[in-house]
Structure 1
Amino acid sequence: MTAPILSIRDLRVSFATPDGPVEAVKGIDLDLAAGEALAVVGESGSGKSQLMMAAMGLLAKNGTARGSARYRGEELIGLPARRLNRVRGAKITMIFQEPMTSLDPLQPVGRQIAETLRVHSHLSARAARRRTVELLDLVRLKDPERRVSAYPHELSGGQRQRVMIAMALANEPDILIADEPTTALDVTIQAEILALIADLRTRLGMAILFITHDLQIVRAFCERVMVMRDGRVMEEGDVATIFTAPREDYTRMLLAAEPEGTKPTAPPAPPILRAENVGVHFAIGRGAQLAAVDGVSLTLSPGETVGIVGESGSGKSTLARALLNLLPATGEVRFRDTPITGLSRRQMRPYRHALQMVFQDPYGALSPRLTVGEIVAEGLTVHAPELGAAERRARAVAALAEVGLDGAMARRFPHEFSGGQRQRIAIARAIVLKPAALVLDEPTSALDRSVQKQVLALLLALQAAHNLAYVFISHDLAVIRAVADRVMVMKDGRVVEEGPTARIFEAPATGYTRELIAAAFDLSAILAARQSNPNARGSASTIAGT
C-alpha cells in the first residue's frame, strides 16, 4: 500500500457514565491510502462509528479520545477547533448515520449545503445556490430547484440522507467517511449513490472509509475490510480473502447473518385495522398540492404482517403516520370498528397504547434529556397510571431485556448508544405497552445483519405470543420476504401492486416491482453496470468539473 493519508495509532475512546467509564474503542491502528476504499464492519456497539468520531473531534461531551490520528502528517487528536475546522468539512467529510439529527431543523437544506460551499470553497451566494441545485440533482433528489427551499422535516428519511451525501461531496474531499450512508435508501438509489461515490473516488483520488453493517456493499465496493468487535480489531485483510476464507468465527457469523426463511401464514381473522381510500396532501406553494399518499386502502388482521415497500419518497412513511392519525388525512381509518381519522389528540389517547409506532430515525425519536429507562417507562406513566414507580422501572428493564439490552443500561442516555442499540430501545418503548398493532417504519435499517436477525426473530416471537398485527415498512426486500404475509408496493403515493409475499417475489406483475427485486438481490451487478456507463445519471462529472 502507498503512504497513508490517514494514519491512526493506538486510538482509544472512553465515555464517562453514571456506572463508571465505558471503553468503546480499545487501541485501534488503521491506515488509509489515497484512492482506497476501506470498510470497517462489526456489530452494533463494536466501536465502528466512535473510532472515526474521535478522529474528527466529534465525540459527545462525556467522550475522551487518546492516541494518534494523523491526516497527511498533521495530528488531529487535540487539535484546536479552528484548525480542525479547516480539515473537516473540506479535506475530510463525513456522511452521518442519522440525517435528521445532523441537519439543522430551522434551515432549508439548500442553505445548509450552500453554507458548506461558501465557507470552504468561497463561492458567492448565487454560485453556491447553483452548485447546490447541481448536487441535489446529482444525488437524484426530485425537483432540486424546489427542494433547495425544503426543510428537513419535509423530506423522507432517504431524501434527507441524499442531502447529507450531497453536502459531504460538495467540496471534493480527500477522505470521505461514510457511516452507514445508504441505510435509509432503497436499493435502486443505493446502487446509484455507490456508483456516484465510486466515480468521484476514481476521478479525484478520494479515499473512502466505509462504516457499514451491509456486507453486500462491502463486497461490491471495497478492497480492504477491517472487522471490529467490542472496540477491538478481530481481523483485517483484502475483501476477497475475508469473504472466502475468514480466520475468525465471529467473521464467519457476520457473513452468515442474512435474513432467511418465510413467515408462517397467519390464520384468517377479522381485520383489526382497516383503511379506505386514504390520502395525504401537502401544500407546496401557489395553491399547488403534492399527493404524498393517494387513495390507498389496507386491511390488517391480528397475527398478520403487511409489508410495504417502495423507493424513497414513495409515501410509505406518510401512510404509516396517516394510519395512526399522526397527521391530517382524507379517507377513513378504523381501529376495531371505531373511526379514528380526524380524532383530536385527547380523543386518540385511549387508543394510543394499542397502536404503537417504531420510527425510522431512533435518535430523533428518543429524548436526549431522559435515560433510556425513563424513555421506555414513559408510556406506562400515561397509559398505566395505576403502576408505581418501582413496577414501571421493572417493566422497562424487562422490555430492554426482551430486545437484547442489559437492564443496567437503563441509567444511560441515548447518545451513549450506537445506532442499532438506539433502535432496539425504540422497539422496547413500543412493546412495553403490549400493543395490538405495531407500525414499524424501517425498524432494522440501522442494525447490522446479526442484530437484525435477532430483532426480526424477536418481533416474530412477540407476534406469535401475543397475536400482534404489524405494518412493516422497509426498503430491504430480504427482510420483507422473511417477515411479511402480504406485500404492498408503493410508488409516487399509490399502490402499484399487492398480494401474498410468495407471489410478489416469485411472479411480480409490474416492471417496477421486478426492478426493485432485481436491485435488492444483485447489487454488485447493478453497481458494475452503473460504473461502466459514465453518461448515466449519477456520474460525478458535474462535481469533478470534467
Structure 2
Amino acid sequence: MTEKMETVLDVKDLKVEFDTPDGTVQAVKGVSFSVSRGETLAIVGESGSGKSQTMMGIMGLLAANGRVSGSARYAGEELVNAPLRVLNGVRGSKITMIFQEPMTSLDPLYRIGRQISEPLIHHKGMSKGDARARVLELLKLVGIPEPERRIDSYPHELSGGQRQRVMIAMALANDPDLLIADEPTTALDVTIQAQILRLLADLQKKFGMAIILITHDLGVVKHVADRVVVMRRGEIVEQGPRDDIFERPQADYTKMLLAAEPSGHKPPPPPGSPVILEGRNVTVDFAIGGGFLAGGTRTFRAVDDVSIRLEQGQTIGIVGESGSGKSTLGRALLKLLPSAGYVRFGQTEISKFDRAAMRPYRREMQLVFQDPYGSLSPRQTVGEIITEGLFVHEPQLSKAERDARAVAALKEVGLDPATRNRYPHEFSGGQRQRIAIARSMILKPKVVVLDEPTSALDRSVQRQVIELLRDLQEKHGLSYVFISHDLSVIRAISDHVIVMKDGKIVEQGDTEMIFDAPRADYTKTLIAAAFTH
C-alpha cells in the first residue's frame, strides 16, 4: 500500500438531520474520518447508528426531508451541498456506491445489461456494442452464472444475491477511485460472499482503489479492513487500525459488538405435534422466453420434487446458496406462485386453490420478505403499513382498535410506538425489517415464512430478533419456515434443517446433526465457509 498517504476522501464534522412530524432527528452528529488510496475503511455499528446516512449525505442522496452540513472533500473538491453538475461528475465515475437494498436501486422495467452499461456510455462514451462486451466481463467477474443469458434478464428474474452482484458490477464499471460498499455481502451466501470479498480485494490491489465498507458483519471487517470506525447513535465511539479494534477495544460499545453472536438452541416441538403445513413432491418451473427474434422458450426448474412437513411450534431452517430455490419453495408452500405437487395447510389441501380461494387463509400464512424496503410502501406511515391487513381480515375493527393493535405490534418487535407516524425511509434497514415482522404478526398467523429476515441486521440486533421470534413462537404456538444463508442464525433458531442446491434437497435432519455431522460434501463446504470466515 505504497500510495496510502494520498487521501481520497476527507470528512470533517459531518452532520445529517431529518425533519419529521415528531421534530428534528439528528442521524449523524459531527463525524470526522478519512480514507486513503488503496485502503479499506470499515464503518460498523448497529442499525440506526448513522453509517449509511453518513455516506448518503456525502453523496447528496438524502431523502427530501434530510439536511447535511460539514465538509467532505474528494481530491480536494467539496462535495457537501455541491452543485448537481459537480456531484454528477463524481457519482458513478470517481465515487461509486453499492446500496444495501438492490431491488430499490435497479429499475424493474429495464434489463440488467442496459442498466450496467449506462454509466459506461455516460461517463466513458462507449458504444453500445463495446459497453455490452464490458458488461459481460463484469458479470463474469462478480460470479453471475450464465452471463450471456443473464445480461438480458430483468431484476425480478434474479435471486437476491444475484441482484446484489449486479449492483457490484455496476459500481465497478468505471474503475472508480473510491467504492462505497453499503452491506455489499448482506444478501449473499457464505461461499459467494468469500468470492466477492476476494474480488474487491483483487480490484483494489490492481487499481489502488479506496473502499469504504459499511457493514454489521464483523467477520467481514476482520477479514478485509485496514482501519475501523465504530459508530453509535450518529457518533463515532472509537476508530483505529483493525487489529487494535478487535484485540484491544477501548469502548464498552465496541466490546459489546464483538461479543454479540446469535446463540442458543431451539428444542423441537413435543412428539405428536400436528402437521400444520405439508408439501409433497413440490415442483416449480419457470418459462424463460427466448425473445421475439430468438423464438421459443425453455423451462428452468427452480424447485425439483421437494417434500417438507412443518409441525406446530416447529422451525424448519432452509439453507443453500443464492439461486438454490429456497425462497421459491417458501412462496410455493404459501401458494404465491404456480407449482406442481401436493400442499396441505392444517387439514385442508390447498394445492389447486386460486387467489380467491386462498384469501381466507392468507392471515394464517404470512411471509416476511428479504428486502423490507421494497415491500413497504413509501407513501404510507408505519402505522398504516402495519394495520393494512386488518382492513381485509378484520374489517369490523374501529380506528382506535386498529391503532391499539399497531402499538402492541410495534412494542412486540422492540420499536417505539411513537414512531408509527413516520415513513419507511426514516428508519434504518434493521428497523424496517422489524416493521415488516410487526406487519405479519399483527394478524396472529399460524405459519410464517421468514425469507432472510435478519440479513439486513447487525449481529446484536440479529440476536434480539431471534429471541423475539422465539418468544412469539412460544407465546402464540407459531410455526416458522426460516430461509437464510447465514448458518449461525439458522443454527440458533431452527430445530430441523433442510439443505438445498439447484432446486433439490441435498440433506436434512435435526439441527445439531446437520452442523456436527454433515453427510453431504455440499453441506460440509457451506459450514466450512461460514465458520472459518
TM range (shorter): over 0.9
Deviations 1:142-183 (A, max 9, x none): 110010111011111001001001101111110000000001
**CA distance in structure 2 between the partners assigned to 1:119 and 1:281 by the alignment:** 38
Tell me what 1:527 maps to: none
Structure 1 position 481 matched with structure 2 position 501: no
The two structures have a TM-score, normalised by structure 1, of 0.95
Q: Distance in 2 between matches of 1:153 and 1:21?
A: 37
Q: Is the 1:277–1:297 Cα contact (8 Å) retained in structure 2?
A: yes
- Residue 38 of structure 1 aligns to which amino acid in structure 2? L
Deviations 1:314-367 (A, max 9, x none): 111111111111111111211012122332222111101100010000000001
- The equivalent position to 1:126 in structure 2, one of 129, 133, 139, is 129
Displacement after TM superposition at 1:118 (Å): 0.9
Matched, 1:162 2:165: yes
Q: Is the counterpart of residue 32 in structure 1 residue 35 in structure 2?
A: yes
Verify: 1:279 aligned to 2:283, yes or no.
Answer: yes
Pick from 340, 344, 353: which aligns with 2:350?
340
Is the 1:328–1:342 Cα contact (8 Å) retained in structure 2?
no
What is the correspondence of 1:26-105 to structure 2 with a 5 Å cutoff?
26-105=29-108
2:317 pairs with 1:307: yes
**3-state secondary structure, aligned to 1:21:** strand
* Structure 1: 4+ residue segments shifted above 2 A: none
Candidates 461, 476, 489, aligned match of 1:451:
461
- The 3-state SS of whatever aligns with 2:90 is coil
Corresponding position of 2:292: none
What amino acid does structure 2 have at the position aligned with 1:477?
Answer: L
Tell me how far 1:287 sits from its aligned partner. 2.8
1:379, CA displacement in angstroms?
Answer: 0.9
Q: Does 1:494 align with 2:497?
A: no
Q: Distance in 2 between matches of 1:127 and 1:400?
A: 51
Among 326, 331, 348, which residue is 1:321 paired with? 331
**Higher mean C-alpha displacement, 387-396 vs 209-218:** 387-396
Aligned residue pairs, count: 523
Provide the aligned C-alpha RMSD in A. 0.8
Kept in 2: contact 1:25–1:231 (CA 8 A): yes
Of the three residues 227, 239, 243, the one matched with 1:240 is 243
What is the match of residue 428 of structure 2? 418
The superposition leaves residues 13-45 of structure 1 with CA deviations (integer Å, 9 ceiling, x where unpaired) of: 001111111110000101111111010000000
Q: What aligned pairs does 1:325-474 form with structure 2 within 5 A after superposition?
A: 325-474=335-484
Question: Tell me, what secondary structure is at the counterpart of 1:307?
Answer: strand
Could you say which residue in structure 1 is the equivalent of 2:142? Answer: 139
- SS in structure 2 at match of 1:313: coil
Q: Is the 8 A contact 1:310 1:475 kept in 2?
A: yes
What letter corresponds to residue 346 of structure 1 in structure 2?
A
Q: TM-score, normalised by structure 2?
A: 0.97
Equivalent residue number for residue 520 of structure 1: 530
2:417 partner amino acid? G
2:413 and 2:392 map into 1 onto residues whose CA distance is 22
Aligned to 1:539: none
CA contact 1:40–1:228 (8 Å) conserved in 2: yes
Q: Secondary structure at the match of 1:86?
A: helix
Check if 1:148 corresponds to 2:151.
Answer: yes
Deviations 1:240-291 (A, max 9, x none): 1111111111111101111112112221212100001111111113231000
| Aligned 8 A contact 1:219 1:239 in 2 | yes
Give the distance between the partners of 2:157 and 2:265, measured in 1 at CA. 35
**CA distance in 2 between partners of 1:337 and 1:437 (Å):** 14
Work out the CA distance in 1 between the residues paired with 2:233 and 2:188. 28
One-letter code aligned to 2:431: Q
Partner letter of residue 517 of structure 1? I
1:231 aligns with 2:231: no
Offset from partner CA, 1:207-248 (integer Å, 9 cap, x none): 010000000000000011011000000111111111111111
Q: Give, in whole Å, the separation in 2 of the partners of 1:474 and 1:370.
A: 28
2:212 to 196, 209, 212: 209
Q: For each residue in 1:374-397, what CA deviation from the matched residue of structure 2 results, as whole angstroms up to 9, or x when unmatched?
A: 100111111111211111111111
Per the alignment, residue 113 of structure 1 pairs with 116
After superposition, give the CA deviation of every residue in 1:425-461 in whole Å (9 maximum; x if it has no partner).
0000011111101000000000000111000000001
**Per-residue deviation at 1:486?**
0.7
SS in 2 for 1:146: helix
> Which sits farther off after the overlay, 79-88 or 420-429?
79-88
Structure 2: distance between partners of 1:350 and 1:263: 31
Deviations 1:94-119 (A, max 9, x none): 00000000000100011100111111
Q: Match of 1:85, SS?
A: helix
User: Cα distance, 1:85 vs. partner?
Assistant: 1.0
1:14 aligns with 2:17: yes
Question: C-alpha distance in 2, partners of 1:144/1:201?
Answer: 23
Task: State the alpha-carbon separation in 2 of the partners of residues 340 and 48 from structure 1.
Answer: 45
- Does the residue aligned with 1:261 lie in a helix, a strand or coil? coil
Counterpart amino acid of residue 277 in structure 2:
L
Q: CA–CA distance in 2 between the matches of 1:322 and 1:342?
A: 12
Code of the residue aligned with 2:212 in structure 1: it is: L
SS at match of 2:118: helix
Aligned pairs for 1:181-192 within 5 A:
181-192=184-195
Find the aligned partners of 1:19 and 1:89 in 2 and give their Cα distance.
35
- Give yes or no for contact 1:325–1:342 (8 Å, CA) kept in 2: no
The C-alpha deviation readout for 1:63-107, integer Å capped at 9, x for no partner, is: 110111100000011112122111110110000000000000100
Q: What is the distance in 2 between the residues matched to 1:338 and 1:71?
A: 62
SS at match of 2:275: coil
Give the match's secondary structure for 1:333: strand
The whole-number CA distance in structure 1 between the counterparts of 2:353 and 2:94 is 51
**Structure 2 match to 1:530:** none
| In 2, Cα distance between equivalents of 1:514 and 1:220 | 21
The letter for the 1-side match of 2:86 is R
What letter corresponds to residue 73 of structure 1 in structure 2?
G
Aligned match of 2:299:
289
Structure 1 unaligned spans of 5+ = 524-546
Question: Identity of counterpart residues, as a percentage?
Answer: 64
